[in-house]
Amino acid sequence: MGLSAPGLGSGLDVNGIVSKLMSVERQPLTQLAKQEATYQAKLTAYGSLQGALSTFQGQMAAMSALSVFQGISATPADATVLTASASTSATPGSYTVNVTNTALAQSLYAAGQTSTTAAIGAGATTTLTFTHGKIGGTAVAGIYPNGSTFTQDATQATGTVTIDATNNSLQGIRDAINNANLGVSATIVNDGSATPYRLVLTSTQTGANSGMNITVAGDATLQGLLGYDVTLAANQKLTQTVAPQDAAFKVNGVSVTSASNSVTTAISGVTMNLLKDASSTTLTVANNTASVQAAAQGFVSAYNSLNSTLKTLTAYDATTQQAGSLQGDYTAQTVQAQLRRTLSSSLMGVNGSLTSLSQIGISFQVDGSMALDSTKLQSAIANNFSDIAALFSTVGKSTDSLVSFVGSSANTQPGQYGVSISGLATQGYVSGGAQAVGTLVIDATNNLLNVTLDGTTATVTVPSKTYATAADLATALQSAVNGTTAFSSLGKGVKVTQNAGVFTMTSNAYGSTSNMSVTGIGASNLFGATPVTHVGTDVAGTIDGISATGSGQILTGATGTAAEGLQVQIAGGLTGSRGTMNFSRGYAYNLNTMATSMLSGTGLLTNRTTGINSTIKDLQNQQDAMTKRLTNVEANYRRQFTALDTLMSQMTQTSNYLTQQLASISSITNSSKK
């Protein structure tokens, strides 16, 4: 019949019928979509919870720092005289500081040159040797008189700079000195004269020991430009513009000198930065109560913010009859329960008068939030300031002043641990034994040493000269070793001492990795034919009666014990019982640990969101499969009802035809009868 649109043949509403049938068929798909929407809402809610918990974790981590609750402020009355800061070891008090003069670094200038790039000298290889020390004498017009003295400072490195045809211009010399990092800064100043360009050398350290001695071996022109020997006026080719000077000041009437304007030793735990000569001010050192108040309020606010998020996600609004996405959710309830359990648990190992948050005014309210009683907090700050930190941070307190808390591990259990030492840590050294130094004349025959220091070996050059005393040579040796880049770049160093000409070179490090040995053409002169060597030993002892692991001066609690990972430093003293170490973890630390665990890749929230994502994926797969099936079902319905429509149309046509035929027959019959 050629019918192609459903319902056009018989008038049957195929689209309407199929649509109604499909609405019934799609009911399971609708239910799946509703389930997916519910899980998507939960996933969004967990995202909000994870964000809030992550913020909370960061806040608790910051509050776990001991310095937050044990801060000490150092405030000068006049900040133009000095600035100051204090560590947690500082003792509160008021100090009068009178500054006579600040510390200065020596500065020298060379004769003027007409060019910064022209070659100076013939280009022969020349060695500049820099040493630092104290100058005995007073310069007149920038020159020290004959008979002035120079005493080398063993704590400052000795080093050399090589000048040759590749860098014998003023610029080249400047750059070579600066690149050598020998405690000297080189610049070029233009004074505007006919020979305007002057090389200016300034010690990078201040203080009386910042005086320079410069030995030049090689090109005569460079010797005449850069040689600097304060003991002979004729050998001072450079002119002093600033004399090296220690800072001189008084603290509460006690005279103090310092090589640096940054003074760390005058007042225990306090660093002062001296700024102005001939001036005075009052320095107030006090407990930083403002930081404790801010931290306590921050703790309360952090908890309340997280608690508010949890309440919103799990609440039921009776007015709107709307439930939070996580109402009745087990995981959200677990987070709430663990928070409250952690905050209501007593702290273990605390050695002080404060053991609960309520003692400093932090308490829970009826609605589950926290509040801070400022009056109670102020009272705790005034009476128990040093104990507040233990409520929040990881704290280790020792009864022995030479035993200090270094660190702990996640497995260290709070508690009180006895510390006993059977052997103190020692340093590695090499000594001449009973043999004194052979000669004080150091030259090319005995100036090279192959030094092994704590496992690192390097060649050390002792400056060639005739030393006045064995002590002078020991000083030069220490500076030469410590100035060797192979050692200084790794933070390694030595101390060289002498007794009746017998040298001992000792590593600055402690423990079994601390070792010293010396070979080379200068070794026998300084340490004899058979030097004595000693490898350092690690500290040995027990923590809580169980053998601990020693590494240098650090003793670490044994694995599998309550003290596992507890690290204490033994800075000296005697063997035997060394008192106790009280170790505790505060609420901020514990909450940080709890939140970190929940947010970890295998944590509570991650596992839950992973499960929800898996469920959503499964629902989406079911919906995809069902959608494909419904497409087939709808197509089948349309085929069936289109066929029915076609059949009904054909039957209608047949009926109409028969009706017409019967009508014709009836008409013919009636006509015949007439």
DSSP 622: H
| H helix or E strand, kind and range, residue 93 | strand 93-101
Q: Would the pLDDT of 520 be above 50?
A: yes
Task: Provide the 10 A C-beta neighbour count for residue 286.
Answer: 14
For tokens 């500065």, what's the residue? 107
| Within a domain: 279 | yes
pLDDT for 274-307, tens place per residue?
999 999 999 999 998 988 999 999 999 999 999 9
Task: Provide the 10 A C-beta neighbour count for residue 320.
Answer: 7
| Within a domain: 547 | yes
Residue range 520-543: mean pLDDT, rounded: 95
Rg (CA), the chain: 44
Residue range 573-601: mean pLDDT, rounded: 93
446 pLDDT band, cuts 50/70/90, is: very high
- Looking at the structure, do residues 311 and 366 belong to the same domain, yes or no? yes
Last residue of a domain, one of 287, 315, 346: 287
Structure tokens at 621: 């797969």
Structure tokens at 13: 């509403």
Residue range 512-538: mean pLDDT, rounded: 95
| Within a domain: 646 | no
Structure tokens at 555: 């003793």
6 pLDDT band, cuts 50/70/90, is: low
| Within a domain: 659 | no
Contact 130, 224 (CB under 8 A): no
Contact 121, 219 (CB under 8 A): yes
The span from the CA of 535 to the CA of 514, in Å, is 6
Residues paired with 405 in a beta bridge: 568
- Looking at the structure, do residues 477 and 402 belong to the same domain, yes or no? no
pLDDT for 316-339, tens place per residue?
777 777 887 888 888 889 999 999
- Looking at the structure, do residues 157 and 205 belong to the same domain, yes or no? yes
Average pLDDT, the chain: 91
| H helix or E strand, kind and range, residue 65 | none
Residue 541: name the closest of 420, 369, 382, 404 by CA: 420
| Within a domain: 648 | no
Residue 354: name the closest of 371, 375, 373, 379 by CA: 379
Task: Provide the 10 A C-beta neighbour count for residue 444.
Answer: 8
Q: Would the pLDDT of 667 be above 80?
A: no
Residue 95: name the closest of 232, 211, 252, 213 by CA: 252
- Looking at the structure, do residues 151 and 267 belong to the same domain, yes or no? no
- Looking at the structure, do residues 233 and 175 belong to the same domain, yes or no? yes
- Looking at the structure, do residues 60 and 145 belong to the same domain, yes or no? no
Task: Provide the 10 A C-beta neighbour count for residue 575.
Answer: 14
Residues paired with 255 in a beta bridge: 250
pLDDT top residue among 29 and 223? 223
Helices (H), 436-532: 470-482, 485-488, 523-527
pLDDT at 386: 85
pLDDT at 238: 97
The span from the CA of 674 to the CA of 664, in Å, is 16
pLDDT at 672: 67
pLDDT at 376: 95
Lowest-confidence segment of 77-81, 420-424, 476-480 by average pLDDT: 476-480
Domain interval for residue 406: 397-425+539-585
For the chain, how long is the longest CA-to-CA vector? 171
Q: Would the pLDDT of 265 be above 80?
A: yes
347 pLDDT band, cuts 50/70/90, is: confident
For tokens 């404790």, what's the residue? 292
Residues constituting the chain = 674
Dihedral sign, Cα of residue 541, residue 543, residue 549, residue 554: negative
- Give the number of C-alpha atoms closer than 13 A to the C-alpha of residue 432, restricted to the C-beta side: 23
Q: Would the pLDDT of 259 be above 90?
A: yes
| Within a domain: 128 | yes
| Within a domain: 446 | yes
Last residue of a domain, one of 265, 287, 309: 287
- Looking at the structure, do residues 503 and 527 belong to the same domain, yes or no? yes
* Distant-in-sequence, close-in-space partners of 621: CB < 8 Å, separation ≥ 6: none
Contact 473, 542 (CB under 8 A): no
DSSP 630: H
pLDDT top residue among 622 and 494? 494
For tokens 């600055």, what's the residue? 508
Residue range 533-552: mean pLDDT, rounded: 97
- Looking at the structure, do residues 112 and 229 belong to the same domain, yes or no? yes
SS3 of 336, please?
helix
Report the share of the chain in percent with pLDDT over 70. 98
- Looking at the structure, do residues 401 and 546 belong to the same domain, yes or no? yes
Structural domain total, the chain: 5
* Distant-in-sequence, close-in-space partners of 484: CB < 8 Å, separation ≥ 6: 451, 458, 459, 460
The span from the CA of 34 to the CA of 40, in Å, is 10
| H helix or E strand, kind and range, residue 506 | strand 502-510
Task: Provide the 10 A C-beta neighbour count for residue 249.
Answer: 26
The span from the CA of 597 to the CA of 132, in Å, is 55
Q: Would the pLDDT of 543 be above 80?
A: yes
Q: Output the CA angle 375-376-382, nearest 5 degrees.
A: 90
| Within a domain: 457 | yes
Q: Would the pLDDT of 8 be above 70?
A: no
pLDDT at 658: 83
Residue 508: name the closest of 154, 205, 144, 176 by CA: 154
- Looking at the structure, do residues 237 and 357 belong to the same domain, yes or no? no
Residue range 308-317: mean pLDDT, rounded: 86
- Looking at the structure, do residues 381 and 452 belong to the same domain, yes or no? no
pLDDT at 2: 38
Residue 194: name the closest of 118, 108, 110, 113 by CA: 113
Structure tokens at 608: 């839950």
Task: Provide the 10 A C-beta neighbour count for residue 214.
Answer: 22
Residue 286, phi then psi, degrees to nearest 5: -145, 160
pLDDT at 10: 62
Q: Would the pLDDT of 532 be above 50?
A: yes
pLDDT at 1: 36
SS3 of 293, please?
helix
Last residue of a domain, one of 467, 500, 534: 534
pLDDT at 89: 85
Annotate 342-387 with DSSP letters as a single string. HHHSPPSS--SS--SGGGGTEEE-TTS-EEE-HHHHHHHHHHHHHH
Angle between helices 14-25 and 604-673 (to 10 degrees): 150
DSSP 492: -
Check which CATH number belongs to the domain holding 448 and give it. 3.30.70
Predicted model pTM: 0.75
- Looking at the structure, do residues 193 and 203 belong to the same domain, yes or no? yes
Check which CATH number belongs to the domain holding 297 and give it. 1.20.1330
